[in-house]
Structure 1
Amino acid sequence: MSGGFRIDPEALGRAADQAHAHADRVEQHGRNLDARTRGKLLGKGRLGQIVQRAVRPVLDSMIKDMSKAMAGGHRSIGHGLEITRKNLDAAEESIRKNLRHHARDKDKVEVKLGQSVLGEEGLRDQYKRRVATRIAGLRKQGHGPQRHLDATDDMLKARLGTPVAPFMRDGTPTYHRSAGGYIQTRNKIDPLHGPDPQKRLQGDALYRDAENPTERHSCGDFSTGFKPGEDEAFMYAEQHARSLLDPSVSGPQPIRFSLEDAWGKDGDHHERLRGFYVDPADPVDANGKVNYKPVDFRGAKMFAYFKPDNHGGYKLSTMFPEPDPARNP
């Protein structure tokens, strides 16, 4: 008798990523071949011109159409695997509901000797492992999770830095402001330095960028990220952003999209996020402590930045929420 088979959602996710990456490589090879051959003569003289007119259009069409068809085939496989993975998620949820239903029934599920049933806790653990595996993979691609998922609230505030010393205007201390009207800051600490960097880094080294130590770390008017434990939200946001990549572009690609596009129309998605900015109306209190205001993420967008991975695909460099300034005066 057959021992059955087992579907691994994590393997499905990896296979889908590989299929999409292979499609990207096929498209890139097609573009390279087209660029190297288009406009070049296939022969010289009268006979060469005849060959050129007869064969050139066919060759150009073959390069374009075959590359497109091959890439489309691999991309279809990738989409099919992603759909299968999503269907598994739906099946897991259905099983959870049935298990809860049976738990209330008098008639329990009978399990014979040698059989086992993966309960709700087991399903949940399996799904958590799949999410953790994907987030670990994204950590290797760039700094998205490290700066915008793993960072604590204190690390997000430290990334904003402290206000630049004010100047006097008509006898009143006046703070320098950015183009958006927010307080300009300095001495920003990169979350990639890890917890308590003040204990390990001295002087100017504390304010250097962890990825590029030749530069001081930079941060805009807002320091934002996902709330602790929102690994699943980060994973699905990146998955949606990756689906928006333009295969005809060979360089870096910035992607912006709404929270609803990634997570659906229902739900208070802004509550998955967190962030801070320096209070423009009262940057520093009487004791010299910086006043950091929490960000209102209603109406926010998500920004993702992808870079070529040198293998025909793309890697996630970073991803973070962009607040609506109108909601954060």
Structure 2
Amino acid sequence: MKFSSIAGVALVALGFIFLSFPGQCYGALEVGFYKGKCGIWDVESLVAGIVEEKFSNDPTIAPALIRMQFHDCFVKGCDASILLDGPSSEKTAPPNLSVRGFDVIDAVKDVLETQIICPGVVSCADIIVMATRDVIFLSGGGQYNVQTGRRDGLESLAKNVDLPGPQISVSDSTAAFQRKGLNVTDMVYLLGGHTVGVTHCFFFQDRLYNFQNTGRPDPSMDRELVKTLRLSCPQTSSGSNIVNLDQNPSSSSTVDNSYYTEIMEHRGVLQIDQALALDPETSDTVTSIARGSDFSTKFGQAMVKLGAIQVLTGTQGEIRKSCRATNTPPS
């Protein structure tokens, strides 16, 4: 994006009206942290405008950025460590090899650092959270304000990546989320991010053919869904094909509560998704969300809570000049 187009983008983005007010705090973070820090430019409007332009060309950046925020925050906190390049960085860990959307973050950072002349002010960690908020809204989700003021981490190691896998049990998933300061309700809402996006066949192919070495499909999966998914995921295939996580074709690209309706009807694709609707610890919450109308609000609240995990503020960390490298490379 050229400097001459930024003003127009900013004006479009000013149409975003949020529910909270500047000055509202969440821990060490603050809504409106960047107000007045880049001269005449409103940082959040600039981010929103750039993200809207990217989204208009590729709506699939919505699930990509939702996933990026989760993968960043769940590993050593929301410090943009997932963005750092390097031979043993978090990017190289198997769960992160398919993470994408880095170009969106780079585009925002480039504008802020070089085109509006506001260097060293806006952290990459905050850009991730703001950009994710914006694509959720653009995909039909609710509008919510985000707290900012994060600083960027200096370390990114593949060995630190401890993300819960798609075959994890509800009890183990609950424990993993609790270690991050998130409760079971937060977990159910955050897994609702699967309302958009796709997954590769190899993450659930066993459920179609040989569930738990029984030689049969997972009995908890709807029979018609088994037949449908087998067409996309033949038993002899490599598992590289992709399918929608939300199998409702009318809402597979919309951030809504359809995911919960689907798993209540035994149409969950991933094992953990289906388990949420069946486990006594989470089934009542799933039912409430599927039958209610407040998913957008509470999903936004859960994303805000996710974005507050182990943040670096004040004199901690740094503000990177490039989101892909620390300001002081290791010697």
TM-score category, normalised to shorter length: under 0.3
User: Bigger relative contact order, structure 1 or 2, given CA contacts below 8 A and separation 6+?
Assistant: 2
How high is the TM-score relative to the length of structure 2? 0.24
The structure with the largest alpha-carbon Rg is: 1
How high is the TM-score relative to the length of structure 1? 0.24
